[in-house]
């Protein structure tokens, strides 16, 4: 009887390898459940070996206590060997599929989670929330917009105010804690998978429903597939898969620019730090460190990401994103960052000034740190003060604090640029006013003989309020030539339409000439830009006179000519 019992046990354990449909039994016992019930090889592999461990433990106990020799027969050995060979074959098949580019089986059959088996112990509300989380994630992952909207509408029933909706989703997807500095659960935040799939419409639906774009989650859970075993054995384990990241980290790492814009529209924190275990601290960085293309980096800079942030001190990540990209030999990105004023890591006061931490800045200054400190052991390549860093990031309160502690408002860096140059370059009007109020020179010139207004026009970020702040000093000539060009020449040569229109609105002359005797209007890089500038300044290329009965005909001619970017003026019809 013993050998037969052992054989039956081994055959039962082999069912998982043959792909026996356990999901059928589960669906019969839980007919009302909407949780995905199709379990793949990873789940059955775990069940198989768990059951095998239990049976083997019982076998040893019976062998020692009752001398019950259940697996010593030839038949039992054959079943065990057959099962082992089938398991190895299935693992090898999975490995070959992944090498050929086939998707992970978990993409189609779901994954095993302990909380699903324990859901029966939950209360009605907790179980409902658990199923909502699973179903919403699955629907978003498959791009089923109608199903997602239906699930969200059902979830928000009875939630009258926006605050109640936000609190509901915050509780559902709150950032999981890092237990013992190593472990964290996965909340299956649908925003993360929507950003990964570049489903912009889905991202906006979720954000509009009230999901918080600043909650962290893992992009991967622990599975028992051969792929994970292979990665662990050969040192190819993807640490980033288990870091707690925001949806913005995901969008940036995949280069999905429209998703980044959508998240920014809903006030996503551009400087949110990722959380990792104690063995992966180098991944605890803001999203800008994940950018690996010029377009992605540019949109982050346009959205106000802090490119002077230093993730940690005293570790391998005591570096700015500029140093990070130089380490990776990304010269193009490094040049872009340098153009925006990114620098090398210097002192804690520099980092705090760039972050806008007024209280900490005051603490350092009261403890005797000089407001114009350049560094501890070296002055840095660019030789910039904390006031420079604060001006670059537009931290007006920090700027005011540093100025009160006798910071030099006209301190020039290696490029000859003062904090006012950088504040104007980034259109930080509050900082510009604070510096001018402290006596900063609005006509000081850098190494290229450019004034702050010239630098701002060259960048393309300059707007009317900043120009007006500079003009109020009574020292700035908007048509002045310092570097051989007027500010309008510089803006038009770079194709910066908005900056050029702002200069014209503040009095810039489109017919002013540069040192080469070229008019500003002749420096436009396209006919469309030239047309826009002429319309804004009131300049006209063609005048059309007409008699009142022919007004409609004259209007059509005017529209046809302007369609070719030629400015036209119609003589106003007179009363007859």
pLDDT truncated to tens, each residue of the chain (576 aa)? 444 444 444 444 444 444 444 444 444 444 444 443 334 444 555 555 566 566 666 665 555 544 444 455 676 677 677 767 776 766 676 777 767 776 655 444 444 445 555 555 556 677 777 788 888 999 999 999 999 999 888 888 877 777 777 788 888 888 888 777 777 788 889 999 999 999 999 999 999 988 899 999 887 654 445 555 545 544 455 565 678 899 999 999 999 999 999 999 999 999 999 988 877 788 889 999 999 999 999 999 999 999 999 998 877 788 999 999 999 999 999 999 999 999 998 899 999 999 999 999 999 999 999 999 998 777 788 999 999 999 999 999 999 999 999 999 999 999 999 999 999 999 999 999 999 999 999 999 999 999 999 999 999 999 999 999 999 988 899 999 999 999 999 999 999 999 999 999 999 999 999 999 999 999 999 989 998 998 888 888 888 888 777 788 888 888 888 887 887 887 766 644
Helix (H) or strand (E) holding 60: helix 41-65
Smallest CA-to-CA distance from 457 within 437, 430, 485, 432 is with: 485
d(CA 511, CA 538): 12
- The pair of three-digit structure tokens given for residue 286, joined into one six-digit string: 């803001």
- CB distance 448 to 479 below 8 Å: no
The residue extents of the domains of the chain are: 2-109, 122-306, 442-537, 540-576
What length is written for the chain?
576
Smallest CA-to-CA distance from 420 within 403, 176, 404, 229 is with: 403
With a CB cutoff of 8 Å and minimum separation 6, the contacts of 153 are none
Strand (E) positions, 156-298? none
- The pair of three-digit structure tokens given for residue 252, joined into one six-digit string: 């940036």
- The pair of three-digit structure tokens given for residue 113, joined into one six-digit string: 């989670």
Smallest CA-to-CA distance from 315 within 291, 281, 268, 355 is with: 281
Phi, psi torsion values for 313, nearest 5 degrees: -115, 140
pLDDT of residue 404: 95
CATH code linked to domain 442-537: 1.25.40.20
Local structure of 367: helix, strand or coil: coil
d(CA 406, CA 386): 12
- CB distance 252 to 287 below 8 Å: yes
- CB distance 111 to 40 below 8 Å: yes
- The pair of three-digit structure tokens given for residue 493, joined into one six-digit string: 């040569």
With a CB cutoff of 8 Å and minimum separation 6, the contacts of 259 are 194, 195, 198, 200, 203, 247, 251
d(CA 352, CA 242): 29
Cα distances (angstroms) measured from residue 32 to each of 27, 28, 36, 131? 8, 9, 12, 12
Smallest CA-to-CA distance from 461 within 503, 413, 506, 414 is with: 503
d(CA 492, CA 525): 7
The sign of the dihedral angle between the CA atoms of 444, 446, 449, 453 is negative
CATH superfamily name and code, 122-306: Ankyrin repeat-containing domain (1.25.40.20)
Cα distances (angstroms) measured from residue 294 to each of 43, 258, 338? 42, 15, 13
- The pair of three-digit structure tokens given for residue 314, joined into one six-digit string: 């005293």
- CB distance 412 to 448 below 8 Å: no
- The pair of three-digit structure tokens given for residue 423, joined into one six-digit string: 């504040």
DSSP string, 506-563: TT--TT-B-TT--BGGGG-SSHHHHHHHHHHHT--SEEE---GGGHHHHHHHHHHHHT
Give the angle subtended at the CA of 336 by the CAs of 506 and 274, to the nearest 5°.
110
pLDDT of residue 408: 95
Cα distances (angstroms) measured from residue 4 to each of 67, 71, 74, 75, 163? 16, 9, 11, 8, 64
- The pair of three-digit structure tokens given for residue 426, joined into one six-digit string: 């980034």
DSSP assignment letter at 178: -
């Amino acid at each position: 009887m013993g050998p037969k019992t052992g054989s039956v046990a081994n055959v039962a354990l082999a069912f998982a390898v043959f792909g026996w449909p356990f999901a059928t039994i589960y669906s019969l016992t839980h007919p009302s459940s909407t949780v995905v019930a199709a379990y793949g090889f990873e789940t059955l592999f775990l069940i198989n070996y768990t059951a095998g461990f239990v049976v083997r433990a019982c076998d040893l106990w019976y062998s020692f206590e009752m001398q019950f020799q259940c697996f010593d027969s030839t038949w039992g050995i054959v079943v065990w060997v057959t099962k082992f060979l089938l398991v190895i074959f299935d693992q090898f098949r999975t490995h070959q599929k992944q090498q050929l580019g086939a998707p992970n089986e978990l993409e189609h059959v779901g994954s095993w989670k302990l909380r699903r088996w324990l859901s029966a112990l939950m209360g009605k509300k907790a179980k409902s929330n658990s199923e909502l989380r699973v179903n919403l994630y699955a629907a978003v992952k498959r791009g089923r917009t109608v199903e997602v909207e239906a699930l969200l509408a059902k979830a928000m029933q009875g939630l009258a105010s926006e605050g109640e909706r936000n609190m509901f989703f915050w509780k559902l997807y709150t950032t999981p804690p890092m237990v013992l500095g190593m472990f964290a659960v996965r909340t299956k935040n649908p925003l993360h998978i929507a950003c990964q799939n570049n489903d912009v419409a889905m991202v906006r639906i979720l954000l509009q429903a009230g999901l918080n774009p600043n909650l962290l989650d893992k992009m991967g859970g622990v599975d028992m597939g051969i792929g994970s075993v292979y990665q662990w054995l050969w040192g190819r384990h993807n640490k980033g898969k288990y870091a707690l990241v925001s949806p913005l980290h995901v969008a940036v790492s995949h280069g999905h620019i429209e998703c980044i814009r959508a998240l920014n529209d809903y006030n996503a924190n551009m400087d949110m730090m990722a959380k990792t275990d104690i063995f992966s601290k180098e991944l605890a960085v803001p999203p800008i460190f994940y950018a690996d293309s010029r377009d992605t980096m540019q949109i982050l800079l346009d959205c106000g990401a802090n490119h002077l942030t230093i993730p940690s001190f005293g570790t391998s990540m005591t570096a700015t994103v500029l140093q990070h990209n130089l380490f990776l030999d990304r010269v193009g990105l490094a040049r872009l960052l340098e153009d925006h004023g990114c620098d090398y890591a210097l002192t804690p006061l520099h980092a705090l000034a760039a972050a806008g931490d007024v209280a900490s800045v005051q603490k350092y200054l009261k403890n005797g740190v000089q407001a114009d400190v350049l560094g501890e052991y070296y002055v840095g390549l660019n030789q910039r003060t904390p006031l420079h860093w604060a001006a670059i990031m537009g931290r007006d309160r920090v700027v005011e604090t540093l100025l009160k502690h006798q910071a030099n408002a006209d301190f020039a860096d290696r490029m000859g640029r003062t904090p006012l140059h950088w504040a104007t370059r980034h259109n930080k009007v509050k900082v510009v006013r604070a510096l001018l109020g402290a006596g900063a020179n609005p006509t000081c010139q850098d190494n290229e003989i450019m004034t702050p207004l010239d630098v701002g026009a060259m960048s393309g970020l300059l707007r009317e309020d900043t120009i007006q702040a500079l003009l109020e000093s009574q020292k700035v000539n908007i048509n002045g030539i310092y570097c051989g060009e007027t500010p309008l020449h510089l803006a038009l040569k770079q194709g910066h339409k908005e900056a050029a229109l702002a200069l014209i609105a503040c009095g810039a002359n489109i017919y002013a000439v540069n040192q080469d005797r070229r008019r500003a209007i002749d420096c436009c890089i396209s006919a469309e830009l030239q047309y826009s500038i002429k319309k804004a300044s009131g300049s006209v290329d063609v005048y059309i006179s007409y008699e009142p009965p022919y007004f409609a005909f004259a209007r059509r001619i005017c529209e046809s000519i302007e369609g070719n970017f030629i400015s036209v003026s119609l003589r106003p019809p007179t009363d007859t």
